[in-house]
Amino acid sequence: MKLYKIKKSKIDNKGRGLYAAKDIKEGTKIINYTGKIITNKQVDESDKYDNNKPIYLFTLNKRYTLDGDFSWNTAGLINHSCDPNSQYDGKGLKIWITAIKDIKKGEEFTCDYGFGFDKDYKQFPCKCRAKNCCGYIVREESRWRIHKKFAMSKKS
């Protein structure tokens, strides 16, 4: 039995998400993240990877990147949350999604997309509604900088 179901997402209201089809224990592998393996050089040189869909690209190592921007990559439907219940795991050239909490049947799977903090972060607003949501899809280590920016703009 599959561990997931595809349904309309509560987070991304234009899109779909993946939901737990049964109760899942922390540490369970949920689904493989599949795609096409391309070279990092291709990423640099092709227009397709011109920063419009960076959320589907995973740098695997110095040479290769996994491009998951394909309709058959079901795991690509998993949405970002600032308080995720799952994470991307990988070994060699493979990537999959693992539960990092116990997840109840019917909950939506979420991962931290882990974007770095850069000038373009405002392109990717976050609607995850987690208590700690910083408003943008930015990886955890970088979020404090945004919180700091909010605090500063409130003061002035």
Q: Which residues lie near Zn ion (CB under 5 A)?
A: 82, 126, 128, 133
Q: How far is the CB of 126 from Zn ion (least distance, A)?
A: 3
Rounded to a whole number of angstroms, the CA Rg of the chain reads: 16
d(CA 110, CA 83): 8
Q: How far is the CB of 41 from Zn ion (least distance, A)?
A: 33
Q: How far is the CB of 83 from Zn ion (least distance, A)?
A: 7
Instruction: Return the number of the residue (66 or 111) whose C-beta is nearest Zn ion.
Output: 111
Q: How far is the CB of 10 from Zn ion (least distance, A)?
A: 13
Residue 24 contacts residue 102 (beta carbons within 8 Å): yes
Q: How far is the CB of 88 from Zn ion (least distance, A)?
A: 17
Residues 58, 60, 63, 66, Cα dihedral to 10°:
-40
